[in-house]
Amino acid sequence: MTNLPTNAPSTHPLDPLSTAEIQRASDLIRQRSGLGEHLRVAQLLLHEPSKDTVLKYQPGQPFQREAFGVILDKSSGDTFEAVADLHSGQVRLKKINEPDSEFGQACILMEEFAETERIVKEDPGWRAAMQKRGLNDAEMELVQVDPFSAGYFDLEHERGKRIVHAVCYYREELTDNGYARPIEGVVAHVDLIAGKVVHLVDERVVPIPRKKRNYNGEALGTPRSDLKSLNITQPDGPSFTVDGWQVQWQNWSFRVGFTPREGLVLHQLSYDDHGQQRPIIYRASVTEMVVPYADPTANHYWKSAFDGGEYGLGKCANQLELGCDCLGLIHYFDIPAADDFGQAFDMKNAVCMHEEDYGTLWKHNEFRTGIHELRRSRRLVISFFATVGNYDYGFYWYLYQDGTIQLEAKLTGIIQTAAVAPGEAYPWGGMVDEGLGGPTHQHFFNVRLHMMVDGEQNSVTETEFHPVPLGPGNPYGNVFETRSRTLKTEQDSEGVADGRRGTYWKIINPSVENSVGNPTGYKLIVNPSPLMLAHPEATVQARGGFATRHIWVTPYTPGEKFASGDYPNQHPGGDGLPKYTAAGRSIENTDLVVWHTFGHTHVCKPEDFPIMPVEYAGFLLKPNGFFSANAAMDLPKEVNRHSVQNAEQGGGDEVPCCSKAQGE
């Protein structure tokens, strides 16, 4: 399907910046800053207007367009926030890394990946460490150097500096999978502004694993030959409509957005309930993720990548391929973006949208009357994939015809690895091959849901189930009770989902009554999910405190955007959700934000290598007292014509699945 031209004029205040707007903003900021060739752009995106402005907007009205940028001076390391008014040409510039400011560093730039490799390979100490491990000059040139966010450990040589830690992998050819052959015991601490290695860790020599584990076509050998084609066709076209960044599908309406840090954003998600447009979520996005490692050795103890704030999930988005990443009748969104030097370009096919069959939605077979009714479920998929170093993450938002909302994170790619000496055990994870271990680690995601259930004044209830003692009210022992309460303040709940008690949370509008006299609402279903296991005094817990609870609730405050705070890269910690909620503000019957942390604890195994099969994590929001009945009862009976044709061609008996009972 045809993509929206990324230089098209904006028609709504929430439209992402066009390529022309990005280039104008970049030029204005460059001129205002006077940085010239030293200017680097860590982020450049729409400076979103206030919620009040958006909600009052009427089509055709003029609206302001501003760009927000995070700008780095590569000559000094100074960092600035810039807001450029695209109409007036005015630019507001603010230096943010003052000595007394709570500031880490801007995210790592794409340019700095190549810079790190050059700096490391020119360092005499590093070359000596490689020689000690048996590598000659030619072999050193083939070494893969990975710049990794440094975390925070208050090291003297890192204070106030823009630092990455570089770990290395041996390759015989440039196309080899370096993660199969890690070089253990060597870590270079690189000052990206000074352009030099400021500290080199060089511990005991561990033999480099010998086995190649490549995953390109030739290395994988002969593929299976018994897999038949499975084609997805929609001869009548899709059921969705797209108008610029606005999408409508099966009573749903929303706007697509995208930022360098969060990637995909869904704006103004609402449902048409028999002609009434009912808002549910004002803004939804994944604002942060963190991956702490459980290996205390030199190559790994500091690893705790904040892939949103330290790299940028949106900046790392893939170009999706039709027929591979996405199947069926696809609509792609190209995303206007700025490179490290402020040049506008298009991220082609960065967001994919399509429909999927999802099996049975509802069904009943009544043997007494012979009435058999079934409707199949279809869902709308809006997704993107980000590759951050070794790992690949897919973020899939699903909308269902019954009003359900789901986010599914798909975790794949290549695990971090550790070389293990012959005859030694690897106590910090699992062995994946001879001489090759995978450190145990955790993945945590935090989604920010600016709720708007039937309006701006919402509350959150917490519900648990408890057994009832034997007695007059429970003579047979089968009774258990439901206990619900409305959360009053940010500190009113520990925010931990207890599987034994079936803890769940519900976002309600106490001012809107449903068909049975209760507040309308949506239930947040927390899937089984760990919390951070690092010690409370560990710096990763101070920096990633959002991962210590499943649920946080805050009153909407425009400046509170990210679960880990604005600049987690090299930040000492204490920012983000723990800081936001420290005051214990009221969250009852107000404009509120629900933040949900979910994730996965990964103990590596041979099946995870060379590329791990997808692991899944996520959550659902289901209507709970929002509708007066099953919202999908009006779906038409539908028999898939291609299934019928295939059955007839194969000599099978076709039974229309939506209207016949067994034996008819």
Please give the positions annotated as active site: 307, 391
Residues 456, 471: Cα–Cα separation, whole Å: 44
Residues 528, 601: Cα–Cα separation, whole Å: 11
Sheet of 612-623, strands arranged across: 331-338, 344-366, 371-388, 391-400, 405-413, 612-623, 519-526, 504-513, 459-467, 480-486
Residues contacting residue 228 through CB under 8 Å, at least 6 positions apart: none
Residues contacting residue 340 through CB under 8 Å, at least 6 positions apart: 40, 41, 42, 109, 110, 111
Listed in sequence order, the DSSP H helices in 65-217 are: 111-121, 124-132, 137-141
Q: Is 119 left (phi over 0), alpha (psi -120 to 50) or beta?
A: alpha
What Cα–Cα distance (Å) separates residue 528 from each residue in 284, 468, 509, 541? 21, 25, 27, 21
Residues contacting residue 333 through CB under 8 Å, at least 6 positions apart: 3, 4, 245, 256, 258, 350, 351, 352, 353
Residues 457, 227: Cα–Cα separation, whole Å: 53
DSSP-derived 3-state class of residue 270:
strand
What Cα–Cα distance (Å) separates residue 51 from each residue in 54, 267, 268, 356, 591? 5, 11, 10, 32, 11
Neighbours of 474 (CB within 10 A): 14
Residues 624, 525: Cα–Cα separation, whole Å: 11
Residue positions counted in the chain: 664
CA 389 to chain centre: 15
Neighbours of 335 (CB within 10 A): 26
CA 276 to chain centre: 31
Residues 588, 484: Cα–Cα separation, whole Å: 15
Q: Where are the beta strands (DSSP E) in 203-343?
A: 240-243, 246-249, 252-259, 263-273, 276-292, 304-306, 331-338
What Cα–Cα distance (Å) separates residue 362 from each residue in 234, 378, 401, 404? 22, 12, 11, 14
Residues contacting residue 514 through CB under 8 Å, at least 6 positions apart: 520, 625, 626, 627, 628
What Cα–Cα distance (Å) separates residue 233 from each residue in 2, 250, 383, 539, 618? 17, 19, 20, 51, 28
Residues 137, 120: Cα–Cα separation, whole Å: 13
CA atoms within 13 A on the CB side of 23: 9
The letter for the amino acid at 103 is: F
H or E stretch covering 70: strand 66-73
Closest Cα partner for 506 from 493, 269, 249, 584? 493
Listed in sequence order, the DSSP H helices in 464-593 are: 539-543, 577-580
Q: Which tokens belong to 306? A: 């904040």
Closest Cα partner for 596 from 485, 463, 461, 450? 450
